[in-house]
């Protein structure tokens, strides 16, 4: 995990060509139909059980037979504790501090009685040897499914013991077969879920997956694995709506955050990323599939030493769209591809064939983005000739190449330049009439 630096407002380092009201014209064009994510007070959301212990049904995994010595298999004890906690209102499923619990692949199914809290203060570890893994669960370790109104919280650690899985990866050694590996924690088919304070580390592949869920709020989590660990995405969002990630620190061997098909209204605020592959929408459209991601915002982020910064990646041959995306107040340090849209993404051992169809990308706004690029192409918009990228807007972007002169690459991408932009991105500028007319109307009105 990289050392966290104090985040400074990008607004203070860049001159603005428009005042706040004129800037809002651009945001309204892109994000006018965003839904509201529920927004309770922090003190009311988390640490509820600590203040109301007398009203809680506390189920400690130790009382269900867990050894907590890090070597004995505590899977059955966790299953028994879950059975008790899930069945009774206002229960706390307790993993106490100071102990380490070895747990094999387990699915914790709901629905559960109201008011369930999952309190993880100790360490949960996975079996370290892939040969000891349950073959019935090749892609999942800890799965929580069909839950409503459940809170996950604590200062504990969820450790995937992933090193032997990484060594067996085809990305580490091309002579190895490409196989799936488990994801550390998955929240599936659930709603009104809150997660705070947990640490995820050394996952076999993805660390924390939010799948087919609605209204999920994640606050103050940390994710850590080596920068060369393959496919270890930090937080992966799939087929989910109304997700809020806030105050998260993520360093992995893959995307810090990845957002894939059928996800909408995803908000990220104050995200620290590095090492890793950046913050990504995609990949989408693989194997001629439909990919749809709509309404994504990132507000305030610091990325250091990542392979990409703000990335949208799609395979040739897919269909669907990425629409209404806002990246703002982002600082980068030594990032290889700070801003990149890649409609020719190909993560395959074989070359990908050229195809005409593509996932459509439009209405993407980059505002107040600054920092240093390890590559000369600080901005790259590599879009399909048949399905071009449209309405890409740059507003106050300042990216310097660490070595040489920073450049911009465009292929079949159009948009507007709405403020100071360095390096110059004239290849993108198409004078978007709809937005420019609104800005002009504002200017005329202001002068009268």
> Longest C-alpha distance within the chain, in Å?
77
Torsion of the alpha carbons at 264, 265, 268 and 274, rounded to the nearest 10: 10
Considering only CA atoms, give the Rg of the chain.
Answer: 23
Q: What is the rounded distance in angstroms from the CA atom of residue 422 to the CA atom of residue 401?
A: 10
Task: Give the DSSP letter of residue 90.
Answer: T
What CA–CA distances, in Å, run from 156 to 99, 198, 222, 236, 386?
10, 6, 11, 20, 49
Q: What is the rounded distance in angstroms from the CA atom of residue 224 to the CA atom of residue 436?
A: 44
- 378 contacts: CB under 8 Å, gap ≥ 6: 338, 339, 399, 400, 401, 406, 407, 408, 423
Specify whether the CB–CB gap between 240 and 209 falls below 8 A.
no
Q: What is the rounded distance in angstroms from the CA atom of residue 300 to the CA atom of residue 298?
A: 7
Specify whether the CB–CB gap between 383 and 389 falls below 8 A.
yes
Q: Return the half-sphere exposure (C-beta side, CA atoms, 13 A cut-off) of residue 237.
A: 30
Residues marked active site are found at 254, 277
Specify whether the CB–CB gap between 372 and 401 falls below 8 A.
yes
């Amino acid at each position: 995990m990289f050392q966290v630096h104090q985040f400074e407002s990008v607004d203070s380092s860049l001159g603005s060509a428009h005042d706040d009201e004129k800037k809002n014209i651009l945001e309204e064009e892109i994000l006018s139909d965003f839904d509201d994510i529920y927004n309770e007070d922090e003190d009311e959301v988390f640490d509820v059980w600590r203040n109301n212990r007398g009203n809680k049904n506390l189920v400690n995994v130790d009382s269900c037979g867990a050894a907590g010595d890090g070597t004995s298999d505590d899977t059955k004890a966790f299953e028994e504790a879950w059975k008790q906690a899930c069945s009774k209102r206002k229960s706390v499923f307790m993993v106490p501090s100071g102990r380490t619990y070895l747990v094999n692949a387990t699915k914790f199914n709901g629905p559960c009685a109201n008011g369930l809290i999952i309190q993880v203060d100790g360490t949960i570890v996975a079996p370290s040897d892939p040969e000891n893994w349950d073959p019935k669960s090749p892609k999942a370790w800890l799965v929580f499914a069909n839950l409503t109104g459940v809170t996950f919280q604590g200062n504990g650690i969820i450790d995937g013991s992933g090193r032997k899985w990484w060594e067996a990866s085809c990305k580490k050694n091309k002579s190895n077969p490409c196989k799936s590996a488990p994801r550390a924690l998955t929240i599936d088919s659930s709603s009104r879920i809150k997660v705070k304070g947990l640490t995820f580390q050394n996952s076999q592949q993805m660390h924390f997956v939010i799948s087919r869920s609605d209204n999920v709020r994640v606050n103050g989590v940390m994710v850590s694995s080596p920068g060369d660990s393959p496919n270890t995405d930090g937080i992966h969002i799939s087929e989910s709506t109304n997700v809020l990630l806030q105050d998260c620190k993520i360093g992995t061997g893959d995307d810090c955050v990845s957002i894939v098909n059928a996800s909408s209204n995803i908000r990220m605020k104050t995200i620290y990323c590095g090492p890793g592959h950046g913050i990504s929408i995609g990949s989408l459209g693989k194997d001629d599939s439909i990919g749809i991601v709509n309404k994504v915002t990132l507000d305030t982020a610091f990325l250091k030493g990542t392979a990409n910064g703000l990335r949208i990646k799609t395979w040739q041959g897919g269909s669907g769209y990425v629409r209404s995306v806002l990246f703002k107040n982002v600082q980068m340090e030594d990032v290889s591809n700070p801003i990149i849209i890649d409609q020719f993404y190909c993560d395959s051992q074989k070359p990908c064939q050229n195809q005409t169809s593509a996932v459509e990308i439009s209405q993407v706004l980059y505002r107040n983005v600054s920092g240093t690029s390890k590559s000369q192409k600080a901005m790259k918009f590599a879009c399909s000739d048949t399905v071009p990228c449209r309405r890409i807007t740059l507003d106050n972007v300042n990216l310097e190449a660490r070595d040489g002169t920073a450049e911009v690459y465009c292929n079949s991408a159009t948009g507007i330049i709405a403020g100071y932009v360095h390096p110059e991105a004239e290849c993108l500028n198409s004078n978007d009439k709809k937005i420019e007319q609104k800005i002009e109307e504002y200017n005329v009105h202001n002068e009268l």
